[in-house]
Amino acid sequence: MNHDDALLRELNIYPLWLRRDVQVEAPPVAVAPPQPAPPEPEMKRTAAPPAPAAIQPSPYADLGWSELKQKVTDCTACKLRPTCTQTVFGVGDEQADWMIVGEGPGADEDIKGEPFVGQAGKLLDNMLAAIKLKRGDNVYIGNIVKCRPPGNRTPEPDEIAQCLPYLRRQIELIRPKLIVALGKTAATSLLGRDAALGSLRGHLHEFDGIPLIITYHPAYLLRSPTEKAKAWQDLCLAVATLQGMAEQ
Where helices occur in 131-227 by DSSP H, the ranges are: 157-174, 184-191, 197-200, 218-223
- Looking at residue 138, what is its pLDDT? 97
Which carries the bigger pLDDT value, residue 59 or residue 10? Answer: 59
Q: Reply yes or no on whether the pLDDT at 208 is more than 80.
A: yes
Per-residue confidence (pLDDT) for residue 58, from 0 to 100: 73
In the predicted structure, residue 224 carries a pLDDT above the cut 60: yes
Mean pLDDT of 78-93: 96
pTM higher than 0.85: no
Residue 209 vs residues 1, 150, 175, 204, 206: alpha-carbon distances, Å: 41, 34, 10, 12, 6
* Percent of the chain residues past pLDDT 70, beyond the cut: 77
Q: Are 172 and 61 in contact (CB under 8 A)?
A: yes
State residue 248's pLDDT score: 79
> How large is the average pLDDT for residues 120-144?
97
Q: Which residue has the higher pLDDT, 245 or 5?
A: 245
Q: What is the pLDDT of residues 30-70, one digit of tens each?
A: 434 444 444 444 444 433 333 333 446 678 999 999 999 99
State residue 6's pLDDT score.
56
Residue 127 scores a pLDDT above 60? yes
Compute, in degrees rounded to 10, the torsion defined by CA atoms 68, 70, 76, 80. Answer: 80
Q: Cβ(189)–Cβ(164) under 8 Å?
A: yes
| Span 3-13+59-247 CATH architecture | 3-Layer(aba) Sandwich (3.40)
CA dist., res. 113 & res. 238, Å (int) = 28
> What's the pLDDT at 247?
87
Torsion from C-alpha of 238, 241, 246, 248, nearest 10 degrees: 180
170 within 8 A of 207, measured Cβ to Cβ: no
Q: What angle do CA 98, 103, 104 make, to 5 degrees?
A: 110
Nearest to residue 174, comparing CAs of 58, 77, 21, 26?
58
SS3 4: helix
Q: Is the predicted pLDDT of residue 120 greater than 60, yes or no?
A: yes
Q: Which of 216, 214, 194, 242 is nearest to 120 (CA)?
A: 216
